[in-house]
Amino acid sequence: MKLIVGLGNPEEKYANTLHNLGFISVNKTAKILGVEFNKTKCKALIAETKINGEKVILAKPQTYMNLSGESVVELMNFFKVDKKDLLVIYDDFDLDKGVIRIRESGSSGTHNGMKNIIALLGYSDFARVRVGFNPGKESRIPLLDLVLSKIKEEDAEIFNKATDVASKVAYEFASGEKLQAIMQKYNGKA
């Protein structure tokens, strides 16, 4: 059993924002797998499939970003997922625009959704894919406004490539590839 969670905010007005890079990535993973988010369970939209006989759940929490942990904990408990089989994909201000960083564990950094997940799970040693969006010195926008801003047209290609990579990471994780091999292949890519 693998659980792949993309973080974001559920309303349509947030669809193409930087804070929804996790949703965008997991939507692309669903396309690769040929599945749709057609069920609601544990405060999340989910899509289910099997790869090599192993069940795979893709999830998009509908709790809003800062309460993502509520959904993740319910999903982990309901599907009896081991922490080594959890992968969370999310946007990260701490990385440059379009950079991908895969880790086996770590802190939440500046990300409130991850803070909530770690606090409610009670551990931080689970896989994650961070999709960087820090615009660098050119931006003077407060972080709260920045994360909820739409992806700029001039950045569309960067984020399209980054979420493509994140979706491939998720697919390979779901397929049973070792995380170390995935990290060597994709870390730093955009």
The residues annotated as belonging to the active site are 19
Show the beta-strand stretches assigned E in the chain.
2-6, 39-41, 44-51, 54-61, 86-96, 100-103, 127-134
Strand-by-strand arrangement of the 127-134 sheet: 39-41, 44-51, 54-61, 2-6, 86-96, 127-134, 100-103
3-state secondary structure of 169: helix
* CA 16 – CA 172 distance, rounded (Å): 25
Work out the end-to-end distance of the chain between its first and last CA atoms, rounded to an integer number of angstroms. Answer: 28
